[in-house]
Structure 1
């Protein structure tokens, strides 16, 4: 599997979990000892169980958002994707820093998200 295939599979799994809020799908994305930074300078959620718990505490309703993305850079150690998340009344620009392990689970994830200005 190429690095791009691994990242594409992982992001697709993330979007599925985002829309299902299924704890098994969420947990399957992350290594047991993963770190998830919900914002670049916040303390990370550490460990799969904590990531699932925090994700579900902040979950969106299934189908509430659409997410489009493209790779910025893809490497064996670090991949960066740029995305756009559209909610009914808000739009966010996203940068995701993703570090996958050899089995395709994320060992470190950092979200950078910025709300776009309201459109006239």
Structure 2
């Protein structure tokens, strides 16, 4: 199994369990967690990451993630998450690895899918 795949399995375990030990298993003590790439500052340090880790969301989302590319230092993961009756997201994650395989820097890029509307009258394709 690849480094990025192992890390992704750990992330999904931490997401489902919300157990601080599971979160510690995937982030270094000095890790940076960027919830958005344009945030002015990341969440820094494992204690702050655990404090900001989402609690049980009350729904059971469906999701799928795949490792797109990776090397020893960086994994790029693509995915989607759908919260029943709520929101859907498409994600790209940058996972910058420490030598031990935990994330030293994690950046979430997420998008909300566009809502499709009926074509305007006279629009091409009618």
Determine which of 44, 47, 60 is the counterpart of 1:46.
Answer: 44
Higher CA-based Rg: 2
1:68-117 per-position Cα deviation (integer Å, ceiling 9, x unaligned): 11122111221111101111122100000001112111100000111113
Residue number in structure 2 paired with 1:77 = 73
Give the count of matched residue pairs: 115
Q: CA RMSD in A?
A: 1.8
Corresponding residue of 2:22 = 25
Decide whether aligned partners of structure 1 residues 103 and 30 sit closer, same or farther in structure 2, where only a CA change above 3 A counts: same
Between the aligned partners of 1:80 and 1:102, the Cα distance in structure 2 is 17
More helix by share: 1
TM-score of the superposed pair, with normalisation by structure 1: 0.86
1:21–1:62 Cα contact (<8 Å) kept? no
| 1:25-72 C-alpha deviation (Å, 9 max, x unpaired) | 1122100111000000111010011100011xx334366222211122
Alpha-carbon distance between aligned partners in 2 of 1:24 and 1:86, rounded to the nearest angstrom: 26
Runs of 5+ unmatched residues, structure 2: 118-126
Partner residue, 1:104: 101
Q: Can you give the 5+ residue segments of structure 1 that lack an aligned partner in the other structure?
A: none
The separation in 2 between residues aligned to 1:7 and 1:74, in whole angstroms, is 7
Distance 1:112 1:62, change over 3 A: same
